Amino acid sequence: MTVTLRAATLLLSAALAGPVIGQSATDEIAKYRKQLQEGNPAELWEARGEDLWKHKRGPKNASLERCDLGKGPGVVKGAYAELPRYFADAERVMDLETRLVHCMVTLQGFTPAQATARPFGSGTNRSDFEALAAWITSESKGVNMNVPMAHPKEQEAYRVGEKMFFFRGGPHDFGCVTCHGESGKRIRLQDLPNLTDRAGAQLGYTTWPAYRVSQGELRTFQWRLNDCYRQQRFPELKFASEGSIALTMYLARNANGAAFNAPAIKR
């Protein structure tokens, strides 16, 4: 792992220094994504996430190993491909982040405020969620997305998420659909996936979390949503809120049938 990671770092610095401007950034990214397939720096986050999962922490000095992500206590393999979903013990639909908060509170004894204090990290100020998400999602690599829709609350979350996706507002009257409602759209050399189209939704969802070359950070799907809220000039999407879960439900469910393929590498 050390060798592949060192090679990856060299490739990354070359990629960052290289003259990408003027040509399609997408081609360049496709090139180094391929080269890095064997040594994605996301592995560092995955390793830290696995440690966090197994490490006894919090007022109750407990690990997350009994956390039920939907397939039974402690079952991580394939769990992410079936999230968000309804959890009877909490009587609501939860996505990965919300479920982790639930386990940090119930198993480890953290307060909700402590558990949600740092959803996203930067530099040395790391987020546990990014590490945990990296590891947990890596355990669904290759598993077909299979988000359930049998429970009325799952159906409700999906409908709310769909509404949010098409809702326009803010100073520019933007909605997700403004940038992600047609195929072949681009902003500043970046391809905008059409998330209303099955293939686009599948690609857009199954490739997060991702190691962001431009930031040197691993970013989660939640981060992606927050960044698009910012681009949309909307107020910040509250972490682990009903709205955040609903929007995730809409996009995750639309990806059903596609093989999950993250943590990935992106620009």
141 is written with which tokens?
């690599």
CB 251 within 8 A of CB 180: no
Cα→Cα distances 211→37, 65, 140, 152, 243, Å: 11, 25, 17, 35, 25
Question: Cβ 177 to ligand HEC, closest distance in Å?
Answer: 8
Residue 246 interacting with ligand HEC (CB under 6 A): no
How many whole angstroms from its chain centre is CA 159? 20
Residue 189 interacting with ligand HEC (CB under 6 A): no
- The stretch among 5-13, 50-58, 141-149, 224-232 that binds ligand HEC (CB under 6 A) is 224-232
CA dihedral (129, 132, 134, 138) in degrees, to 10, reads -150
Interactions with ligand HEC, residue window 121-150 (CB under 6 A): none
Total of residues contacting ligand HEC (CB under 6 A)? 23
Query: Which of 104, 145, 240, 247 is in the footprint of ligand HEC by CB under 6 A?
Result: 247
Instruction: Give the Cα separation of 224 and 195 in Å (integer).
Output: 13
Question: Cβ 152 to ligand HEC, closest distance in Å?
Answer: 23
Residue 194 interacting with ligand HEC (CB under 6 A): no
Residue 207 interacting with ligand HEC (CB under 6 A): yes
Residue 78 interacting with ligand HEC (CB under 6 A): no
Position of minimal CB gap to ligand HEC = 176
- The stretch among 58-66, 70-78, 134-142, 222-230 that binds ligand HEC (CB under 6 A) is 222-230
* Burial class of residue 190 in the structure, from the number of CB atoms within 10 Å of its CB (0-12 exposed, 13-18 middle, 19+ buried): middle
Question: Cβ 54 to ligand HEC, closest distance in Å?
Answer: 30
Cβ-based neighbours of 128, under 8 Å, separated by 6 or more? 52, 118
Cα→Cα distances 65→55, 75, 85, 96, 129, Å: 9, 8, 20, 15, 15
Where on the chain is the footprint of ligand HEC (CB under 6 A)? 165, 174, 176, 178-180, 187, 190, 192-193, 195, 203-204, 207, 224-225, 228-229, 231-232, 247, 251, 267
